[in-house]
Amino acid sequence: MLRADDHRDDVLIEVAELHRRLATADAPVVLDVRWALGDPNGAEHYREGHIPGAVYVDLDTELAGPHAPGTGRHPLPDLAKFQADVRRWGVTRRGGVVVYDNSGGLAAARAWWLLRWTGVTDVRILDGGLAAWAEAGHFQATGEARPRPAGDIVLEPGQLPTLTADEAAELARTGSLVDARAGERYRGEIEPIDPRAGHIPGAVSLPTAANLDGQRFLATAALRERFAGLRGPVGVYCGSGVTAAHEIAALAIAGVDAALYPGSWSEWSSDPERPAETGADPSGPPRGTAMPADRQPH
């Protein structure tokens, strides 16, 4: 029988373990990924206080490519540029990576997903982020961190599944397509950012924010219960592919594999040929075939 935290330890790291590992010869590379919609001052927040040795990562320019017509607001970055950035952060073929933010992992999960997608297997999210580090009484550095020696990592994309718009539409009919945005955006009551309100027809609403208790991920058992109604293959989207990565991390903790639709609603809603559905969640469980027993949350 699997221990309740088997998958959790693959995704998350606790402050005590990170603090211990930072004092060892095989200390992980630590990435500070503070970012939020409407707050362009992540680098300033980093300079005001960060985990010692952490490298600041800009989500808009390093964890996403430039916006282009027909893509979402945060398209996947160019692989050559991303590899150069990852090497500049100091990531090597042998070392681990820890990512954190100050928003419950909602931004850091984008770095977690991209690194996993490109073949970096030892990468974890700091549960509780910088707030948990501060609550434990650990020192925070200020200003700019000393540059790390360049890494030698060779990235190999495609190590996690992704969906195109057509594949997302099909999955909503044959499996479970999860909309990770706030419920009012899913229902089409408001749309503050993207061209149209609503959701992909057939998608089910499971807002990312409900993965958290404060700034920490819910207990594994609670996450398994949260996702227990999903059937068949699972895909996730949000507004631009950022907070959907947090949902994929929560699903991974629960023992469920999920594909990311990187373009998400920002891409879908910009195409007038694609339908938009409004209203509350579909009644009953999502449509689709039953999830195989060995992949069901339990």
Q: Residue 133 and residue 117: Cα distance in Å, rounded?
A: 27
pLDDT of res. 281: 61
Query: pLDDT digits over 130-153, tens only?
Result: 999 999 999 999 998 888 889 999
**Helix (H), strand (E) at residue 217:** strand 216-217
Q: Which pLDDT score is estimated for 38? A: 77
Q: What is the pTM of this model?
A: 0.91
Strands 212-213 and 216-217: antiparallel
pLDDT tens readout for residues 54-97: 999 999 999 999 988 888 999 999 999 999 999 999 999 888 99
- Rounded to whole angstroms, the Cα distance separating 125 from 145 reads 20
Burial call 28-46: b when 16+ CB within 10 Å, e when fewer? bbbbbbbbbeeeeebeebb
Q: What is the pLDDT of residue 86?
A: 97
Range in 11-15, 145-149, 211-215 the model is least confident about: 145-149
Q: What is the mean pLDDT of residues 280-292?
A: 42
Percent of the chain at pLDDT exceeding 70 = 92
Task: State the average pLDDT for the chain.
Answer: 91
> Please, what are the domains in the chain?
8-135 (3.40.250.10), 165-295 (3.40.250.10)
Over residues 25-31, mean pLDDT: 95
Q: How far is CA 63 from CA 45, 118, 190, in A?
A: 18, 12, 27
Residue 51 has pLDDT above 70, yes or no: yes
pLDDT digits (tens, 9 = 90+) for 100-119: 999 999 999 999 999 999 99
Q: How confident is the model at residue 36 (pLDDT cuts 50, 70, 90)?
A: confident
User: pLDDT tens digits for 65-74?
Assistant: 998 888 899 9
Catalytic residue among 12, 203, 204, 238: 238
The residue-averaged pLDDT of 218-231 equals 96
pLDDT classification of 44: cutoffs 50, 70, 90: very high
Burial 78-103 (b: 16+ CB within 10 A, else e): eeeebbebbbebbbbeebbbbbbbbb
Please check the confidence at residue 4 and state whether its pLDDT lies above 70. no
Residue 288 confidence (pLDDT): 35
What does each C-alpha distance from 36 to 42, 120, 177, 252 come to in angstroms? 8, 25, 25, 23
Measured between alpha carbons, how far is 113 from 33 in angstroms, rounded to an integer? 13
Identify each DSSP E strand in 27-110 by its residue range: 29-32, 55-56, 97-100
pLDDT at 5: 52
Instruction: Specify the pLDDT at position 149.
Output: 84
Calculate mean pLDDT across residues 233-245: 97
Instruction: Render pLDDT for 161-203 as a digit per residue (tens, 0 to 9).
Output: 999 999 999 999 999 999 999 999 999 999 999 999 999 999 9
Q: What percent of the chain has pLDDT over 90?
A: 84
Give the integer Cα–Cα distance in Å for 71 and 267.
5
User: Which band of pLDDT confidence, cut at 50, 70 and 90, is reported for residue 296?
Assistant: very low
Is residue 216 among the annotated active site residues?
Answer: no
Q: How far apart are the C-alpha atoms of 11 and 218, rounded to whole Å?
A: 13
pLDDT tens digit sequence for 255-272: 999 999 999 999 999 999
